[in-house]
Amino acid sequence: MMTASSTVEFTRRAANVFFHVLTRCNLRCRHCYIHPKQHGRKRLPIASIERWLAVFAERSPGANVVFLGGEPTLHPDLPQAVRCARRLGFASITIDTNGYLFNRILDRVTPAEVDVFSFSLDGATPATNDGLRGQGSYDTCLEGLRKARAKGFRTSLIYTVSRANLHELPRMGPLLNDLGVERFFIQVLGLRGKAASPGGAAGARPILRVSRTEWLEIVPAAAAAVARRGIRVIYPKVFMAPHETFECAGRVADNYFVFPNGRVYRCPLCEDLPIHSLAFDGDRLVETPSMNESDLFRLDIPEGCVMNKLIQPDNLTATAAGVPEYKIACCLLKEEISAGS
Ligand code: SF4
Ligand code: SF4
C-alpha cells in the first residue's frame, strides 16, 4: 500500500477545546506536562464543567472536545460531563487516558457518547514505557485499551517521542494492529512541566528531546510504516524549510487549553507561564490584560515559532551569517498519513 501524506491545516471550522477537568493523576510520568504551580491541584466541580462547556459551545459551535487531566477518569463526574458535551452539540468527544480507567468509566459511558478513548503509551516494550511512565503502566494501558475495544469504543494511541523511546517507535506497528487502534498520534516531547525542570524528575538532565537529525531519520519513516498497516498516523511537522509558509495557531486557529484553576491558553507551549490570554471569571470567559500570549503570537521571526525560541532555542541552528537554517513549525501543525492506493 502507498501512503498519502498531507499537512493538516489550521482552520477556524475545526475548533478544539482541550478541557483539563482536574490535574491529579495516579502516575508520575517523568515527562508529565502538568505544572501544579501554574495549573493548581483543583478538581473542577461538575457544575462548573457544564457551565464552561456551554460557554465554548456558544463561542465555537461544533467544536471538538477532549477531556484530559491529570487522569480525567479520576473525576467521578466525567460521564456527566460527556453527556453534557453531547447535549451541547460538540462535534466529537474524546477522553485521553493513561489506561487505568478509574470510576468504571467504560461501564458508565457508551460508544454513542464517547467518540474515542485515546491511550498514552511511550514504548513498544514494558521496559521502555514503564521506565518513563511507571511500573506496570504498560500492561495496564494495554489491558484498558483491549477492554475499551471489547466494549465497542474507538481507540487511538499517543506516543510521546524522546531520546528514551525513539528507538522503539519503528516497532509499534504490529502492536497497534494487534490492539485494533484506529489512529496513532506521535507527539514530540515539549519542554513543559517536569520535562522542563532542571534536574528533571530523574535527577539528571531532563529527559532529552530528540535532535532534528534523529527526528527526520526515524519519525517520518516510522509513521509511514504504521500508515501502511491501515492506521491513520498524525505527527507534528516540527521542522520547516525556510521557504515554507509559517503560521501560528494562536493567530489563525481556534484552540482552547482549559485548566481547572480557570486559566485558558491558546497555545500549549505557554502553559508553564502565567501568560494565558483568557480566563474564567466565575463562569464568564474574559480576556486577560496585555502582556499575554497573544502579544507573542503577533511577533514575526525568521525562526518560526516565537515560543519555541523563548523556551527551547537549542533546537535552532543558524548559518555563520546568523541566518536560521530552518524554521520551527507551530506545535499544533500536524502531518497526517493514511493508507492510499
Ligand atoms: S503525563 Fe499524563 S498520565 Fe503521566 S503523570 Fe502526567 S497526567 Fe498522569
Ligand atoms: S506553538 Fe508557537 S506557533 Fe504555535 S500557537 Fe504557540 S506560539 Fe504560536
Mean pLDDT, residues 43-56: 98
Instruction: Spell out the residues 6+ positions from residue 48 whose beta carbon is closer than 8 angstroms to its own.
Output: 280, 283
In angstroms, rounded to a whole number, what is the distance separating the alpha carbons of residues 336 and 223?
9
The three cell numbers of residue 134 are 511507571
- Binding pocket residue ranges, ligand 2, CB within 6 Å: 248-250, 267, 269, 296-297, 305-308, 330-332
Neighbouring-strand partners of residue 318: 324
pLDDT score of 35 more than 90: no
Angle at 185 between CA 206 and CA 329, to 5 degrees: 70
pLDDT score of 92 more than 90: yes
CB 73 within 8 A of CB 102: yes
Question: If you average pLDDT over every residue of the chain, what do you get?
Answer: 91
- pLDDT band for 199, please (50, 70, 90 cuts): very low
Residue 58 has a pLDDT of: 97
pLDDT score of 279 more than 50: yes
Burial 145-158 (b: 16+ CB within 10 A, else e): beebbeeebbbbbb
Atom number of ligand 2 nearest to Cα 333: 4
Nearest to 282 by CA among 36, 47, 78: 47
Ligand at shortest distance from the CA of 334: 2
Angle at 135 between CA 130 and CA 138, to 5 degrees: 50
For ligand 2, the distance from its centroid to the CA atom of residue 272, given in whole angstroms, is 14
For CA atoms 108, 110, 124, 68, the dihedral sign is: negative
CATH homologous superfamily of 2-340 equals Aldolase class I (3.20.20.70)
Ligand at shortest distance from the CA of 257: 2
For ligand 2, the distance from its centroid to the CA atom of residue 333, given in whole angstroms, is 9
Question: Model-level pTM?
Answer: 0.93
For ligand 2, the distance from its centroid to the CA atom of residue 110, given in whole angstroms, is 35
For the purposes of burial, counting CB atoms within 10 Å of the CB of 58, is it exposed (0-12), middle (13-18) or buried (19 or more)?
A: exposed
pLDDT score of 200 more than 90: no
pLDDT score of 201 more than 50: no
- pLDDT band for 208, please (50, 70, 90 cuts): confident
Alpha carbon dihedral 135, 138, 144, 147, in 10-degree steps, equals -130
- pLDDT band for 281, please (50, 70, 90 cuts): very high
Atom number of ligand 1 nearest to Cα 194: 6
Give Cα separations from 240 to 35, 143, 235, 335, 336 (angstroms).
Answer: 29, 38, 14, 12, 15
Express each pLDDT in 112-135 by its tens digit: 999 999 999 999 999 999 999 999
Mean pLDDT, residues 56-64: 96
Mean pLDDT, residues 282-306: 95
In angstroms, rounded to a whole number, what is the distance separating the alpha carbons of residues 69 and 210?
25
Out of 29, 130, 160, mutate this one to test ligand 1's pocket (max ligand atoms within 8 Å of CB): namely: 29
pLDDT score of 302 more than 50: yes
- Binding pocket residue ranges, ligand 1, CB within 6 Å: 25, 27-29, 32, 34, 69-71, 98, 120, 133
In angstroms, rounded to a whole number, what is the distance separating the alpha carbons of residues 6 and 19?
27
Residue 12 has a pLDDT of: 55
The residue ranges of every structural domain in the chain are 2-340
